[in-house]
Amino acid sequence: MAALTRLLRSAATSGSTARISLSTLASEPKTVFPAGLAARLAPAPTRKERDERNVQWVFLGCPGVGKGTYASRLSQLLGVPHIATGDLVREELASTGPLSQKLVDIVNQGKLVSDEIIVELLTKRLSKGEEKGESGFILDGFPRTVRQAEILEGVMDIDLVVNLKLREDVLVEKCLGRRICSECGKNFNLARINVEGQNGQPGMYMPPLLPPSGCMTKLITRADDTEEVVKERLRIYNDMSLPVEEFYRRQGRLLEFDLPGGIPESWPKLLQVLSLEEHHEDKQLAAA
């Protein structure tokens, strides 16, 4: 992974996206890929690669769709780190480092941080993980531009890209209902989504994800979760990140997943399309 972090850094600054395969990081794709997608992923990892590395997945999706929630659940299930570039940006904002001042206006206006800065933050996070012996990852919120996707493509193999989808009116409501506990850092949602079906799409109900009483008095709202900024983030997603979906769709690596409702409905279905139900049951048995 040291090679990876060096390469990420140099690709971001030099513009080079030469393909370099890091075969020391590995996955067990036959346990995780939906049948149709598995056939389209190339090249198939060798037995040695499969045995040596964990999954390298990307989660795409609009602000508020729940990338963090599902990526974090899957990372626990699969034993790989969940790396959210939004969290890396917020950590930097909370610090007194020189970058902090530079980032605050960009983030609070819902704009994207430059590719160079975001790659630098990701590289630092991967280096720290490497020191701790981490292998594999689920990336959340990266890549968000085609340039970032090309940089990533140049330095590592991405096994699968999951694209989570929800109606835009629901996305706005979910962002506005989002709260974070300032003490434990957990995410909650006060919104009760109950929308009628429209244009042939079914209606949807999502119960609020309420905090335990201990967190209730410590809830904070992200500065960029105001209606105006959420709408700007959605506009920027459509402008800059829809082409990233297309980038992976063309490669046959994109798994589209329309969320059918809240966590109780969506989580089992997501496990099913990822062929992970057994994995989940094994873990529950082990924990019993």
Using CB under 6 A as the criterion, which residues of the chain lie in contact with ligand ADP when the complex forms? 63-64, 85-86, 89, 106-107, 110-113, 118, 141-142, 144, 148, 224, 233
- Is residue 144 among the annotated active site residues? yes
Q: Specify the residue, 32 or 62, whose C-beta has the smaller distance to ligand ADP.
A: 62
Residue nearest to ligand ADP (CB): 86
How many of the other CB atoms lie within 10 Å of CB of 15? 10
Classified as helix, coil or strand, 196 is coil
- Is residue 67 among the annotated active site residues? yes
Q: Phi and psi dihedrals of 255, rounded to 5? A: -105, 110
Candidate list 50, 111, 167, 222, residue with the active-site label:
222
Whole-number minimum distance, CB 163 to ligand ADP, in Å?
A: 13
Evaluate whether 160 touches 58 at the Cβ level (below 8 Å).
yes
Candidate list 73, 178, 179, 253, residue with the active-site label:
178
Whole-number minimum distance, CB 192 to ligand ADP, in Å?
A: 20
Q: Specify the residue, 91 or 256, whose C-beta has the smaller distance to ligand ADP.
A: 91
Alpha helices of the chain — where are they, by DSSP H? 2-14, 35-40, 47-52, 67-78, 85-94, 98-108, 115-131, 146-155, 168-177, 213-216, 227-236, 242-250, 263-273, 277-287
Whole-number minimum distance, CB 123 to ligand ADP, in Å?
A: 13
Q: Specify the residue, 112 or 166, whose C-beta has the smaller distance to ligand ADP.
A: 112
Candidate list 144, 147, 174, 179, residue with the active-site label:
144
- Is residue 192 among the annotated active site residues? no
Residue 101, CA distances (Å) to 16, 90, 116 in order = 29, 12, 16
**Nearest-angstrom CA–CA distance, 43 and 180:** 41
Evaluate whether 161 touches 58 at the Cβ level (below 8 Å).
yes
Q: How far is CA 265 from the centre of its chain?
A: 20
Whole-number minimum distance, CB 270 to ligand ADP, in Å?
A: 18
Q: Specify the residue, 106 or 190, whose C-beta has the smaller distance to ligand ADP.
A: 106
Give the catalytic positions in this structure. 67, 144, 178, 222, 233
